[in-house]
Chain A
Amino acid sequence: MEKENQRCETLYKRVVNAAKEAIKEAETSVPSWVKSKIKKSIDEEKEVASNQLNNILKNINIASEKNKPLCQDTGIPIFFLRIGTEFPVNFPLRSAFEDAMELATEEIPLRPSIVNPFNRKNSGNNVGDKVPILNTEIVEGSNSFEITAFPKGAGSENLSKQWMLLPDEVNDIDSYIVDAVDKAGGKPCPPLILGIGIGGSFDYSTNLAKKALIGEPNTSDGCIGSLEDQILAKVNSLGIGPMGIGGKTTCLGVSIETASCHTASLPVALNIQCWASRTATKVLEV
């Protein structure tokens, strides 16, 4: 019995540590494709816009050299968990992620940004009612526990949108997306990455849109891939530019996730991400 308790304790600590490390990596670095897409855009821009892109590259280098957060808005903590049916979750799961956030807030450090929605009182440790947000998926037959940290800043999250379109509006999806980005202008910190969820239900489309933001954009095949490229081209012809002060680089990439939906509906969600695509994954095995 004592041995069993020790095993749970060790597993608990491993999960806390892996979650904390995932948050740290996400907060202090961006995937290499972000850097290469920004570098590629610099030559195409005039002085004021290219200046913004150069500042972003400088900032990415300083953050990774000094292990500091890329952005002072260290976001609302969100985790995507893929839990194998052979992985023994015999410990308090939520408490592990609360501990991880409390430690990360102190050690990295992170800005405490989580408040009560009514009286706006800040909890001080990035833990709150149902926060961190945990999205769990069970993976049949696997013995691993995959943790993807996805801290999300409010500047871009605030401009995200969801539509319940009519079934025959499927060819208009791109214009809804382009219109939303046009109205958002410089507010969500362009250059942006657009995560789009098509299908499912009202709530599931938004979940797909967020998941679409994990990994490199514009990598889908077939007609989904064509739609991603088409939206990217249209958004970049809006002229919003880096930080909304004009230019060609409004968007770095578009990524679409889909699901089947009800015959009477066409749910579409757009999750807007600023240039600071912050995700990191850690995998534990037993």
Chain B
Amino acid sequence: MDEKEDIINQDEDNGFHSLKTPLNVEDIEGLTAGDLVKVTGDLFTARDAAHKRFLECQDTKFELSSGIIYHCGPLVKELQGDYKDKKWELVAAGPTTSARMSKFVPPLLEKYNIKAIMGKGGLNNSAIKAMIENKCIYISVTGGCASLVAEHINEVKGVCWQELGMPEAVWDLKVKNLPATIAIDLKGQTLYRN
């Protein structure tokens, strides 16, 4: 077992619920704010500029509803030379402040069948209202823990809109057993003091 596997398997079955993409309503309806989860599957990173483009009907090339929207501007290293099919190395990928994206959440959920949004710091009340209506949960990742998150990312599957710059582009990250917390559930119960 290599070092990466070792870190990933720590705390296994230690009160964590497992969450795997693609997500259906059945996968998330039993979860309550405060539950600890381990996230596996596809994360699509998106910040301010990417959200604007999602809503301007630009083609992302990614099937957003098949994964989790992750408020994150990752640090990615482009690999030079022969690394077989690997083009990118994920260096660091902690969450960014979700509050900046609050205003985009209602139209985004109208447009795409997104079941989970992940970030830090929570969302405003109108975003939460839209999440209740469209059955979407909010997952909190510990802010600043970019190296820890990177340990759980196995692959950078692709990127879209690189012209926006590294932080603002949309990256498809394949994640395994990422430790996180349900911070807003389907009933709109939140761990934050909204």
Contacts and interface: CB of A to CB of B under 8 A. Distances in A.
A121 B163 CA distance: 9
A185 B96 CA distance: 14
Interface stretch (A18-26, A82-90, A104-112): A104-112
**Which of A74, A158, A243, A244 counts the most chain B CB atoms within 10 A?**
A243
B146 A155 contact: no
A109 B77 contact: yes
A248 B77 CA distance: 38
Given A109-B75, A186-B122, A243-B121, A72 B36 contact: no
Nearest to A53: B142
A59 B146 contact: yes
17 contacts: A48-B181, A52-B181, A55-B179, A69-B146, A70-B146, A72-B72, A72-B75, A109-B77, A111-B75, A111-B167, A121-B165, A155-B120, A186-B122, A187-B99, A243-B121, A244-B120, A274-B143
Interface of A: 47-48, 51-52, 55-56, 58-59, 62-63, 66, 68-74, 109-113, 115, 120-122, 124, 153, 155, 158, 185-189, 239-240, 242-246, 274-276
Given A70-B146, A243-B120, A275-B144, 12 more contacts: A47-B15, A51-B142, A56-B142, A59-B144, A59-B148, A66-B147, A68-B150, A72-B75, A115-B165, A158-B97, A185-B122, A245-B191
Contacts of B148: 55, 58-59, 62
B142 A59 contact: yes
Nearest to A30: B144
B91 interface: yes
A158 to B, nearest CB: 7
Interface of B: 7, 15, 34, 36, 49, 72-75, 77, 91-94, 96-97, 99, 120-122, 140, 142-148, 150-151, 164-168, 179, 181, 183, 191-193
Contact of B144 (A68, A115, A124, A274): A274
Given A55-B179, A186-B121, A69 B142 contact: no
Contacts of A70: 144, 146-147
A49 B170 CA distance: 30
A97 B74 CA distance: 24
Contacts of B143: 155, 189, 243, 274
Contact of B147 (A52, A59, A109): A59
A245 B73 contact: no
Contacts of A276: 144
Nearest to B76: A111
B145 A124 contact: no
Contacts of A274: 143-144
B147 A111 contact: no
B177 to A, nearest CB: 13
B94 A73 contact: yes
Contacts of B191: 48, 244-246
Contacts of A275: 144
List of 5 A-B pairs having minimum Cβ-Cβ separation, nearest first: A122-B165, A189-B143, A59-B145, A245-B191, A55-B142
Nearest to A120: B49
